[in-house]
Amino acid sequence: MSLPLPVLLAIALAVLLTGCRAEPAAAPGGGEGPATPLAVSGAAEVVARVDGVAIDRRWLEALARGRGLDLQDPAQHAQLLDELVEYVVLVEAGRRDPALADPAVRAEIELNALSARASAVMARIAAVEDPGEAALRAEYESQRQINGALEYQVSHLLFADEAVAREAAAALAAGQSFPALRAAYGDRVRPPVELGWLKLGQLPEGLAGALRGLQPGSTTAEPVQSSYGWHLLHLDGTRPFEAPPFEQVREGIRRMLIAQASRARVDALKAAARIELPGQ
């Protein structure tokens, strides 16, 4: 699994900023700081030197993977090497720039290094979370059951305040139409997002359950809460829906399950970590 381009750029710049002519900066009290990039030691093969700074072939290979380019192609090889040379030239120029001594600038550099390392670990976690065929097919069948045989065209009003949402619901119950309600509460709702045609599996269960009980042209009698706020859902209409063949959506299901498993791994790591928040 290749790393995203911004991650590769951050890794390249962060490693260069540590200087391959010097040891990595030590954290206060000794040891490697949390944002200190991993040192590149024992260069496998030096492919170029810029003002004495060695460019390791591993950097070239990592950049090629991120770009999707072929190092065996002379033109692409030259393009990638030139890009790494530019990195070194820029970083070396930065060493002479007093602005990089500014704590805010240094913090941004260290944040890029920390983000790059975290992204690399996340990619490794995802690489070992690949689900098997049985899990993919089970999720496909589960989604078919959840989505059912209809798509729903939905309008909604989203309120930050429950009391205002219930006031609007009471106005509907008293006979006000949904379009009139939208006009009346336009300045008291969150910015509208047109939901359009949806499948039930795309919605949180609370919203999906509310839609199942509506007929076209009707609105939820009570506000429905989600993590975004309080919704009044209006069902504009329905149309038949047939699930696509498994092979057509197999890769999307695979990515979704990998993302879910990776998220669970990260949440478990956070739960096991000793996190101290001064002042709380």
User: For 230-273, how does the pLDDT look when each residue is reduced to its tens digit (9 = 90+)?
Assistant: 999 999 999 999 999 999 999 999 999 999 999 999 999 999 99
Q: What does DSSP say about strands 53-56 and 46-50: parallel, antiparallel, or unpaired?
A: antiparallel
Closest CA to 58 of 104, 27, 89, 20: 20
pLDDT on residue 127? 87
Q: Is CATH 3.40.50.300 the classification given to domain 150-240?
A: no
* pLDDT reading at 166 higher than 60: yes
Mean pLDDT (the chain, rounded): 82
Amino acid at 218: S
The answer for residues whose C-beta is within 8 angstroms of residue 209's C-beta and 6 or more apart is none
Q: Measured in Å, how far apart are the chain's first and last C-alpha atoms?
A: 39
**What percent of the chain is helix, strand and coil (3-state, nearest 5)?**
55, 15, 35
- Asked if residue 136 lies in contact with residue 276, where contact means CB atoms within 8 angstroms, the answer is no
pLDDT on residue 104? 82
Confidence at 43, pLDDT banded by 50, 70, 90: low
Q: In the chain, which ranges are E strands?
A: 46-50, 53-56, 150-159, 196-198, 224-226, 229-240
Alpha carbons within 13 angstroms on the beta-carbon side of residue 16 total 27
Confidence at 44, pLDDT banded by 50, 70, 90: low
* pLDDT reading at 9 higher than 50: no
Q: Which of 16-25, 145-154, 173-182, 205-214 has the lowest mean pLDDT?
A: 16-25
In percent, the amount of the chain with pLDDT more than 90 equals 48
**Does 172 or 29 have the greater pLDDT score?**
172
User: For 113-147, how does the pLDDT look when each residue is reduced to its tens digit (9 = 90+)?
Assistant: 899 889 989 988 888 888 999 999 999 999 999 99
Hey, where are the domains in the chain?
5-127, 150-240
Confidence at 86, pLDDT banded by 50, 70, 90: very high
* pLDDT reading at 39 higher than 80: no
